[in-house]
């Protein structure tokens, strides 16, 4: 059931109050977690022990600007990821231009939007035109679909904007909009969440949907990160407390988020790989700090991601607005793949 907010002058006030309440709840959760130590993670540890996930990072020295670093197989799931995009700025248009250019070689059919899709608050038709339709016109004209998650700066009524494919829902699940044979050969299911308002109803829905899914790859999409080297580390601990156990018990493999206006690829966290891609229209240069939880960071330019899921694993490439590759590699799960590199016994590079 979609969250309904009132119209009129109280709209912004209600949004701000509710956001503050969520921040307080997340802070209390974090403090409780700190006080209780690791008692709560026993079940999570057991679930993580069953995973044999490995990450292999590419050497970027041999990847020149404009080069695709993905397998680009005929029968694979291909998509892009953007976050914190909806500014209508020149930089957003430049990233969108690179997305269109790479699609000439890598025929992805859909894009995940990790929140803050249309800045700021109540959105008008002009906002949608300037901050979404015009930047991504080439992709929309080519039939590329967009699937959005709500961010803290988004008008909750975005759920009714047809091109975001939310169908009036704050949270939802979907399979890739590709041909049936490809969908059957590479079973992937996505779970889009509203991380600004994580209520009990949404959590019950998530646990049920994850349990019912028999997908080989379960991918979560939400705005707020669980792991970060950016400025929102404390809030990330609260989100982690709320969601990580469900992700582990439900078999989630990969999580995409935004909120931080940087790029992050985590170290494997209990077998799950976390990405932050919050730089498609926003940037906080210098925000990425060193963190033992994060394997790769990028905070000097805007960016987007390309993803490919094959029978050998999940391959990723992060690209800046000049076409330079800032990160690339693959996630292998020997139980799900036939890739010899994933089962060779060699230590993975992350």
Residue 43 contacts residue 280 (beta carbons within 8 Å): no
Percent of the chain whose pLDDT exceeds 90: 75
Q: Which domains does the chain have, with CATH numbers?
A: 10-343 (3.60.21.10)
pLDDT digits (tens, 9 = 90+) for 90-138: 999 999 999 999 999 999 999 999 999 999 889 999 999 999 999 999 9
Q: Where is pLDDT greater, at 326 or 53?
A: 326
Residue 15 has pLDDT above 80, yes or no: no
Query: How many CB atoms within 10 Å of residue 171?
Result: 24
Phi–psi pair at 40, nearest 5 degrees: -75, -15
pLDDT for 215: 94
pLDDT for 240: 97
- Asked, as a colleague might, if the bond just before 286 is cis with ω within 30 of 0, I would say no
Selection from 191, 240, 239 nearest residue 211 by Cα: 191
pLDDT for 47: 59
DSSP, collapsed to helix, strand or coil, labels residue 219 as: strand
pLDDT digits (tens, 9 = 90+) for 31-51: 444 444 444 445 565 555 566
pLDDT digits (tens, 9 = 90+) for 205-243: 999 999 999 999 999 999 999 999 999 999 999 999 999
Residue 319 contacts residue 330 (beta carbons within 8 Å): no
């Amino acid at each position: 059931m979609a969250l309904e907010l009132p119209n009129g002058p109280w709209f912004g006030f209600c949004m701000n109050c509710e956001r503050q309440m969520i921040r307080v709840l997340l802070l209390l959760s974090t403090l409780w977690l700190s006080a209780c130590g690791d008692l709560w993670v026993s079940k999570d540890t057991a679930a993580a022990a069953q995973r044999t996930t490995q990450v292999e990072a590419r050497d970027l020295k041999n990847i020149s600007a404009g080069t695709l670093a993905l397998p680009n197989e005929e029968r694979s799931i291909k998509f892009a990821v953007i976050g914190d995009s909806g500014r209508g700025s020149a930089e957003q248009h430049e990233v969108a231009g690179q997305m269109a250019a790479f699609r000439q070689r890598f025929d992805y059919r859909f894009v995940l939007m990790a929140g803050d899709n249309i800045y700021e608050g109540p959105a008008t038709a002009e906002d949608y035109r300037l901050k979404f339709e015009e930047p991504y016109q080439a992709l929309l004209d080519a039939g590329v679909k967009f699937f959005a998650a709500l961010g803290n700066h988004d008008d909750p009524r975005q759920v009714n904007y047809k091109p975001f494919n939310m169908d009036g829902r704050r949270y939802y699940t979907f399979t890739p909009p590709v041909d049936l044979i490809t969908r059957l050969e590479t079973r992937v299911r996505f779970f889009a969440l509203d991380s600004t308002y994580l209520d009990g109803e949404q959590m019950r829905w998530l646990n049920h949907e994850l349990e019912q899914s028999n997908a080989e790859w379960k991918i979560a999409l939400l705005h707020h990160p669980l792991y970060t080297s950016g400025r929102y580390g404390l809030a990330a601990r609260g989100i982690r407390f709320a969601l990580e156990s469900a992700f582990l018990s439900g078999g989630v493999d990969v999580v995409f988020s935004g909120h931080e206006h940087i790029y992050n690829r985590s170290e494997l966290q209990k077998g799950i790989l976390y990405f932050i891609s919050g730089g498609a229209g926003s940037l906080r240069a210098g925000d990425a700090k060193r963190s033992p939880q994060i394997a790769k960071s990028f905070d000097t330019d805007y960016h987007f991601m390309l993803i490919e899921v094959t029978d050998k694993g999940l391959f990723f490439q992060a690209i800046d607005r000049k076409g330079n590759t800032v990160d690339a590699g693959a996630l292998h799960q020997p139980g799900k793949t036939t890739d010899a590199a994933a089962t060779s016994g060699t230590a993975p590079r992350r």
